């Protein structure tokens, strides 16, 4: 299997983290899936992803002190593999794992994804538990010196035949459940947070486990999309992510703050040459709609409407995966309209390049190489209303193979309206943090 065929365009879906943190349960996942099937699927949205600590008992009950309670009980099978907490995921009882939930989601015409942490449970190592298909026990494949900086659940797995056997056994289990997508954490950049300053460390310490996971996916025979977290991914290792994974986070956790959104333009700048079918630099989840409940900060997104349009436009023209953070059942119509604009979503698979980035503005272009149609997007990054302009000469100088044109009509992607145009440049007044996007 060539992994680039697993996701021929940037994956679109929903992820439980932004609203539920560690606490999501089966009923909640199903309701979000139902909503997606009913309202979003026609526009390309298809993945339903259960995020972190679905294997933990009573997560979130010490939220003032810990996001992840150290040394707490984790549900495991006899082979050192984590399985769903049966209290929260009742259908998993009796060794069925996520199979029934995956079946339900598949029955809606959607795909099912789960989050995992790099490694093997610490508890399995200290209890010397078994590893399927080997004579080794967990303590013999765990690396007692390889820990996550921000989550206490796991030890890294040694790159040995027995270690590979463990990852193979994991993926066999997930494949048997019907998992379509794995978001593996503590692996893309193992140094992402200032949580434990004692270990600033090598940000690429999970490198070998990326390849081990990729091999385990090949071994299991199911085309499971591999998504790597957290960011920022290391630009100097771009070729490695592109060889083994389908998507990798270019940012630490992204939330509804303008400084983070503005900063994403800088990230897209350096990653713009690294988007291709099966290879997607990932701008992280879209914190739109209703979010934050599991974090004790339930709220409507702090982004303005203009900022949300800017976010959607950037993610789409750049070619990032689109993962909704919102509780879908609470989506308002305005937010829904931002997620279902076919003109904007049409940008998603097209190759694109940045033409300009300054402190105050950004300009991007994309092309449909089959039709030759060209697209332009303007972004106002300043804190004031601002008129952006681009001369056709600068546009032509910016990229090879742009014909010597001065178009006379534009299609405004957000409104769907056609506009007349004349002269040697295009110019547009944009609101604070706002954007415009056109097909030429």
Residue 196 vs 297, nearer CB to a copy of itself: 196
Give the DSSP H/E element, type plus range, for residue 425. Answer: strand 425-430
- Smallest distance from a copy of itself to CB 363, Å: 13
- Smallest distance from a copy of itself to CB 270, Å: 6
- Smallest distance from a copy of itself to CB 400, Å: 4
Residues 234-273 that bind a copy of itself (CB under 8 A): 235-239, 242, 269-270, 272-273
Residue 126 vs 409, nearer CB to a copy of itself: 126
Residues 55-74 that bind a copy of itself (CB under 8 A): 70-71
- Smallest distance from a copy of itself to CB 30, Å: 33
Helix (H, G, I), strand (E, B) or coil at 367: strand
Using CB under 8 A, pick the residue from 61, 107, 161, 195 that binds a copy of itself: 195
x/- mask, a copy of itself, residues 110-149, rule CB under 8 A, reads ------------xx-xx-x----------x--x-xxxx-x
The answer to the question of residue 197 lying near a copy of itself (CB under 8 A) is yes
Residues 277, 311: contact at Cβ < 8 Å? no
Extract the tokens encoding 100: 């029934």
Residues 240, 233: contact at Cβ < 8 Å? no
Q: Give dist(CA 82, CA 80) in Å, integer.
A: 7
Contacts 24+ apart (CB under 8 A), 80-85: 80/120, 80/121, 80/124, 80/129, 80/130, 80/131, 80/138, 80/166, 81/132, 81/169, 81/170, 81/173, 82/55, 82/116, 82/121, 83/55, 84/54, 84/55, 85/54, 85/55, 85/56, 85/57, 85/59
Residues 152-171 that bind a copy of itself (CB under 8 A): 152
Angle at 295 between CA 200 and CA 101, to 5 degrees: 100
Using CB under 8 A, pick the residue from 78, 95, 198, 420 that binds a copy of itself: 198
Residue 34 vs 237, nearer CB to a copy of itself: 237
Residue 64 vs 198, nearer CB to a copy of itself: 198
Supply φ then ψ for residue 334, to 5 degrees: -65, -45
- Smallest distance from a copy of itself to CB 227, Å: 19
Q: In what order do the strands lie in the sheet with 409-412?
A: 352-357, 361-367, 374-380, 435-439, 409-412, 418-420
Which residues of this protein are in contact with a copy of itself, per CB under 8 A?
1-2, 4-5, 70-71, 122-123, 125-126, 128, 139, 142, 144-147, 149-150, 152, 190, 195-202, 205, 218, 235-239, 242, 269-270, 272-274, 277-278, 354, 396-400, 402
């Amino acid at each position: 299997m060539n992994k680039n065929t697993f996701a021929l365009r940037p994956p679109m879906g929903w992820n439980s983290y932004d609203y539920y943190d560690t606490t999501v349960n089966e009923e909640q996942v199903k309701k979000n899936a139902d909503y997606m099937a009913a309202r979003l699927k026609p526009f390309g949205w298809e993945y339903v992803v259960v995020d972190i600590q679905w294997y933990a008992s009573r997560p979130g009950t010490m939220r003032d002190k810990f996001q992840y309670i150290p040394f707490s009980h984790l549900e495991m099978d006899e082979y050192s593999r984590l399985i769903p907490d049966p209290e929260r995921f009742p259908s998993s009882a009796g060794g069925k794992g996520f199979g029934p939930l995956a079946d339900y989601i598949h029955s809606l015409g959607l795909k099912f994804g789960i989050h995992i942490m790099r490694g093997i449970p610490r508890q399995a190592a200290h209890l010397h538990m078994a590893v399927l298909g080997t004579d080794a026990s967990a303590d013999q494949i765990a690396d007692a010196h390889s820990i996550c900086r921000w989550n206490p659940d796991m030890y890294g797995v040694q790159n040995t035949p027995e270690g590979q056997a463990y990852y193979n056994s994991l993926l066999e289990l997930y494949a048997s459940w019907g998992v379509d997508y794995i978001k593996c954490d503590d692996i893309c950049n193992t140094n992402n947070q200032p949580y434990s300053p004692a270990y600033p460390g090598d940000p690429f310490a999970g490198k070998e486990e990326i390849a081990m996971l990729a091999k385990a996916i090949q071994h299991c025979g199911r085309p499971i999309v591999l998504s790597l977290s957290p960011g920022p991914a290391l630009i100097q290792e771009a070729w490695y992510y592109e060889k083994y994974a389908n998507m990798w986070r270019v940012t630490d956790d992204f939330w509804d703050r303008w400084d983070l959104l503005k900063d994403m333009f800088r990230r897209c700048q350096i990653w713009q040459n690294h988007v291709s079918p099966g290879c997607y630099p990932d701008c992280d989840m879209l914190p739109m709609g209703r979010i934050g409940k599991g974090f004790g900060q339930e709220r409507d997104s702090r982004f303005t409407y203009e900022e949300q349009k800017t976010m959607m436009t950037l993610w789409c023209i750049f070619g990032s995966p689109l993962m909704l953070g919102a509780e879908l059942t609470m989506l308002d119509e305005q937010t829904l309209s931002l997620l279902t604009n076919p003109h904007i979503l049409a940008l998603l698979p097209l190759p694109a390049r940045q033409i300009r980035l300054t402190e105050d503005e950004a300009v991007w272009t994309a092309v449909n190489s089959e039709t030759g149609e060209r697209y332009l997007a303007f972004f106002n990054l300043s804190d004031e209303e601002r008129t952006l302009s681009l001369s056709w000469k600068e546009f032509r100088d910016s990229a090879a193979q742009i014909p010597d044109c001065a178009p006379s009509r534009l299609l405004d992607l957000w409104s769907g309206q056609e506009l007349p145009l004349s002269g040697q440049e295009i110019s547009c007044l944009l609101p604070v943090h706002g954007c415009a996007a056109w097909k030429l």
